[in-house]
Amino acid sequence: MSKAKPDLSALSPETRLVAAGRDYAEHGFVNPAVYHGSTVLFPDTAALSSRQQTYVYGRRGTPTSRAVEEAVALVEGGHNAKMLPSGMAAITTALLAFLKAGDHLLMVDTVYQPARHLCDGLLKGLGIETSYYDPLIGKGIAGLIRPNTRVVYAESPGSQTMEVQDIPAIAEAAHKAGALLFVDNTWGAGHYFKAFEHGADISIQAATKYLVGHSDAMMGTVTCSKETWEPFRHAYEEMGQFAGPDDMYLTLRGIRTLDVRLERHMKNALNVAEWLRGRAEVETVLYPALSNAPGHELWKRDFRGACGLFSVVLKPCSDKATAAFLDQLQLFGMGYSWGGFESLAVPFKPQRTATRWQPEGYSLRFHIGLEDPDDLKADLAEGFKALNSAS
Ligand X SMILES: *Cc1c(COP(=O)(O)O)cnc(C)c1O
Residue ranges in contact with ligand X by CB under 6 A: 86-88, 112, 155, 159, 184, 186, 206, 208-209, 218, 220, 337
Q: How far is the CB of 71 from ligand X (least distance, A)?
A: 18
What is the residue type of 25? A
Catalytic center residues: 59, 112, 184, 209
Nearer to ligand X, 186 or 268 (CB): 186
Q: Is the peptide bond before 157 cis (omega within 30 degrees of 0)?
A: yes
- Nearest of 92, 70, 55 to residue 23 by alpha carbon: 70
Q: Among residues 112 and 325, whose Cβ is nearest to ligand X? A: 112
Which C-beta is closer to ligand X: that of 94 or that of 312?
Answer: 94
Shorter beta-carbon distance to ligand X: residue 87 or 199:
87
User: Based on CB atoms, which residue is closest to ligand X, 112 or 362?
Assistant: 112
In terms of residues, how long is the chain? 391
Q: Residue 138: which residues within 8 A CB-CB, separation 6 or more?
A: 165, 166, 169, 170
* Closest residue to ligand X: CB criterion: 87
- Among 145, 141, 95, smallest CA distance to 115 is for 95
Cβ pair 379, 330 in contact under 8 A: yes
CA 117 vs CA 145, 157, 209: distances in Å: 22, 19, 21
Which of 357, 356, 358, 354 minimizes the C-alpha distance to 141?
A: 354
Partner residues linked to 183 by β-bridges: 154, 203
Residue 12: CB minimum distance to ligand X, A: 26
Specify which residues 180 forms β-bridges with.
151
| Beta carbon of residue 258, minimum distance to ligand X (angstroms, whole number) | 16
> Min. distance of Cβ 220 from ligand X in angstroms?
6
**Least distance (Å) between residue 340 CB and ligand X:** 12
Contact of 75 with 257, CB cutoff 8 Å: no
Give CA–CA dist 184/144, Å, rounded.
Answer: 20
DSSP string for residues in 144-155: G--TTEEEEEEE
284: β partners: 313
In the complex with ligand X, the residue whose CB is nearer, 184 or 302, is: 184
Sign of CA dihedral 350, 352, 355, 356: positive
Tell the smallest beta-carbon distance from residue 307 to ligand X (Å).
Answer: 11
